[in-house]
C-alpha cells in the first residue's frame, strides 16, 4: 500500500546541507491565501499548463509537446498517464519510487499499481497549500530522497511529480544527481503534458537512458548480471509479452545476432547493455525520448516488428541492413522461418469482420496479424501518436483497406463500431461495454489480446482461438438481447424525468381505504 513518509522525522535525520533550496517564503507570497483551496486538479488543463509555464517549467512542457504531440483533439480518454512511469520504476530491481501529488491521485495510482501485481512500497511526500507555495514541499521531497537513497538498498531513486506539483513549479531538477552513488531521477509526468500512460513509460525510460549514457561516456560501467553477449545484440524497445523476446532471439540467431535487453529494463545495469546494442528494434515506435538517446549513442533504429509473414520478412531485411548482415544470410534465414509462419497462419484462420482499438501501443502490430490471419479488419484505433517508425505498419494496413486512426478518441472508436457493425469488437473497456450492449461480441484489448505472443511462429496462431471463440458466441448475445428486450430502456429505464406528483384524492373511496393513497396515486 502507499506509504506516507514522516517528513518531520526525515527532516530531523537529514544531515546534508540544503543551501540549494528555494527561498522558504518567496517574496510577494500571500500566506493568508494559502489557507484556501489553492491550485487543484479541478482547475483544468489549460489553467494548470499556464501555471506550470509561469512557474518555470515552460522548457519541460515544450519538450513534452514535441515528444508526445496531442493530435486533433486534446487527449485520448485513458487512465492517469503517470501510471506508466510508476509501473516502470516498480518493476526494476533496487529502484525506489516516490510520488509527489495530490493524495487522491497517489491513492489511485498505488491502487492500480498493486492491482497489476506490484509488490513494493511506493513513497509519498504529502503537501498542503502552504507547503506548495512557500517551497517547503521541495524541501520535504529533498529530505525524503536523502533518507531513502541508501546504496546498500538502491541503485536509483525515482521521484515523480504529478499534476499539481508540476503546475506549481516544484523544481525536481534541483535535486542532487546522485547521493552516495545512488542515482536520483526526477521527472514531471502531468496529465496535461503526457497524453497516455504508454508514453509515460518512455518519459522515465528516456530519463534513465540519458543518465546511463552520460555515465558510459565518462568511463567503465557495470556489466549485465549475465555478462556481455558474445554476439552483437538488438535492443528491444517497448514492453511486450514475456515470450516475444525469446521468439525474436530465435529469429536473430541465424543472422549471427542476439536479442538484447528490453526497454524499459528490469535493473539499472541493463541500460548500459541496451545502449551497447548494434541496433534498436522500435517494437513500440512512440518511445520518442528513448529513441533520442539511442540516436545520440549512434544506434540505428528499426521500426515495426516480426509479426506475420510480411512483417517478419520486412523486419529481417531491415535488421540485416542495420547490422551489416550478409544478404545471403538474411535470405537463408527468411527461407527457413517464413514457411513456418505461413503454415501457422493457414492452420488457424480467423473469419469475421473486426474493429480494433486500444492504448497500449501495439494495436497496429495486432492489426497486421489479424489481416494475415484472414480477418476482415476495418478499423485500427490507437491512443498513441503517429511517428516515422510506425509508418511501415500504417502503410501496410491502409494498402489493405484498413482505416488507421492515431490519437483515437473514444468517440472515434465508437463511431467505427457503429459504422462497421463488426462480428467482433476489440477495444478498451467503454468500447467493449457499448459493443455488448449492441449484442456484438467484444474482447478487452489489454488483458485478452496484448497479453499474448505476437512475434514469429508463436504469434501467428496465438490470437485465432480466443477470437474465433468470441465470434462463435454471438448467438448467446442474441438470446440475451431478446430475453431482456426493453429492460432498462425508455419508460423501463428506472429514471423519473420529473418529481412524482400526487393525484387528486378520490371522493368515493371504498370503505376501509383512505381517500388519499400517496403510494398508489403517484403519477
Give pLDDT, residue 176: 96
Give pLDDT, residue 76: 59
Average pLDDT of the chain, as a whole number: 85
Phi-psi group of 241: left, alpha or beta (phi > 0 → left; psi -120 to 50 → alpha; rest → beta): beta
Specify which residues 183 forms β-bridges with. Answer: 156, 178
- Cα(449)–Cα(468) distance, integer angstroms: 13
Give pLDDT, residue 113: 85
Question: What are residue 481's phi and psi, to 5 degrees?
Answer: -65, -45
| Mean pLDDT computed over 219-233 | 87
Give pLDDT, residue 94: 95
Least confident of 317-331, 392-406, 442-456, 468-482: 468-482
Give pLDDT, residue 496: 66
Strand pairing category for 182-188 and 178-179: antiparallel
Q: What grid cell was written down for 185?
A: 531521477
Query: Which strands form 122-124's sheet, in the order they lie side by side?
Result: 2-4, 122-124, 95-100, 156-161, 182-188, 178-179
Least confident of 336-345, 438-447, 476-485: 476-485
Model confidence at 451, in pLDDT bands (50, 70, 90)?
Answer: confident
Closest to 94 measured CA to CA, from 274, 290, 269? 269
Model confidence at 354, in pLDDT bands (50, 70, 90)?
Answer: very high
| Mean pLDDT computed over 185-201 | 92
Model confidence at 478, in pLDDT bands (50, 70, 90)?
Answer: confident
Domains within the chain, CATH numbers bracketed: 43-195 (3.40.50.1980), 233-343 (3.40.50.1980), 348-484 (3.40.50.1980)
pLDDT tens column, 15-74: 333 333 344 444 444 444 334 444 556 667 778 888 888 888 889 989 998 998 887 655
pTM over 0.85: no
pLDDT tens column, 276-294: 999 999 999 999 999 999 9
Amino acid at each position: 500500500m502507499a506509504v506516507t513518509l514522516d517528513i518531520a522525522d526525515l527532516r530531523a535525520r537529514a544531515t546534508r546541507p540544503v543551501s540549494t533550496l528555494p527561498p522558504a517564503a518567496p517574496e510577494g507570497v500571500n500566506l493568508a491565501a494559502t489557507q484556501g483551496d489553492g491550485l487543484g486538479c479541478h482547475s483544468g488543463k489549460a489553467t494548470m499548463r499556464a501555471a506550470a509555464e509561469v512557474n518555470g517549467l515552460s522548457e519541460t512542457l515544450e519538450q513534452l509537446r514535441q515528444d508526445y504531440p496531442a493530435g486533433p483533439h486534446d487527449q485520448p480518454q485513458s487512465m492517469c498517464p503517470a501510471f506508466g512511469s510508476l509501473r516502470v520504476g516498480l518493476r526494476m530491481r533496487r529502484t525506489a519510487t516516490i510520488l509527489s501529488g495530490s493524495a487522491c491521485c497517489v491513492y489511485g495510482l498505488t491502487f492500480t499499481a498493486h492491482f497489476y501485481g506490484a509488490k513494493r512500497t511506493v513513497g509519498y511526500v504529502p503537501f498542503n497549500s502552504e507547503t506548495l507555495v512557500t517551497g517547503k514541499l521541495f524541501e520535504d521531497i529533498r529530505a525524503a530522497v536523502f533518507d531513502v537513497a541508501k546504496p546498500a538498498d538502491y541503485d536509483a531513486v525515482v521521484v515523480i511529480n504529478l499534476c499539481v506539483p508540476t503546475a506549481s513549479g516544484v523544481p525536481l531538477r534541483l535535486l542532487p544527481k546522485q547521493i552516495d552513488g545512488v542515482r536520483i531521477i526526477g521527472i514531471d509526468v502531468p496529465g496535461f503534458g503526457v497524453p497516455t500512460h504508454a508514453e509515460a513509460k518512455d518519459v522515465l525510460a528516456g530519463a534513465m537512458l540519458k543518465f546511463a549514457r552520460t555515465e558510459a561516456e565518462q568511463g567503465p560501467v557495470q556489466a549485465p548480471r549475465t555478462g556481455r553477449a558474445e554476439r552483437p545484440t538488438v535492443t528491444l524497445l517497448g514492453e511486450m509479452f514475456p515470450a516475444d523476446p525469446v521468439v525474436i532471439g530465435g529469429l536473430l540467431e541465424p543472422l549471427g545476432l542476439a536479442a538484447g535487453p528490453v526497454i524499459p529494463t528490469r535493473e539499472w545495469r541493463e541500460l548500459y547493455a541496451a545502449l551497447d546494442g548494434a541496433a534498436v528494434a522500435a517494437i513500440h515506435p512512440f518511445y520518442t525520448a528513448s529513441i533520442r538517446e539511442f540516436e545520440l549513442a549512434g544506434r540505428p533504429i528499426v521500426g515495426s516488428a516480426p509479426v506475420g509473414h510480411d512483417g517478419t520478412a520486412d523486419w529481417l531485411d531491415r535488421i540485416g541492413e542495420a547490422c551489416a548482415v550478409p544478404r545471403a544470410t538474411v535470405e537463408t534465414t527468411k527461407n527457413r522461418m517464413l514457411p513456418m509462419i505461413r503454415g501457422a497462419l493457414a492452420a488457424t484462420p480467423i473469419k469475421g469482420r473486426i474493429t480494433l482499438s486500444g492504448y497500449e501501443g501495439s494495436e497496429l502490430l495486432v492489426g497486421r496479424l489479424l489481416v494475415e490471419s484472414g480477418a476482415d479488419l476495418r478499423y485500427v484505433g490507437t491512443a498513441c501518436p503517429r511517428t516515422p517508425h510506425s509508418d511501415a505498419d500504417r502503410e501496410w494496413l491502409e494498402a489493405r483497406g484498413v482505416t488507421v486512426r492515431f490519437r483515437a478518441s473514444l468517440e472515434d472508436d465508437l463511431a467505427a463500431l457503429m459504422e462497421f457493425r463488426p462480428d467482433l469488437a476489440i477495444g478498451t473497456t467503454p468500447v467493449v461495454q457499448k459493443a455488448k450492449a449492441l449484442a456484438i461480441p467484444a474482447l478487452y484489448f489489454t488483458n485478452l489480446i496484448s497479453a499474448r505472443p505476437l512475434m514469429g511462429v508463436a504469434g501467428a496462431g496465438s490470437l485465432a482461438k480466443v477470437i474465433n471463440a468470441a465470434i462463435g458466441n454471438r448467438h448467446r448475445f442474441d438470446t440475451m438481447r431478446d430475453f431482456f428486450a426493453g429492460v432498462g430502456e425508455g419508460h423501463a429505464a428506472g429514471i423519473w424525468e420529473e418529481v412524482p406528483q400526487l393525484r387528486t384524492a378520490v371522493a368515493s373511496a371504498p370503505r376501509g381505504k383512505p381517500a388519499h393513497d400517496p403510494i398508489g396515486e403517484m403519477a
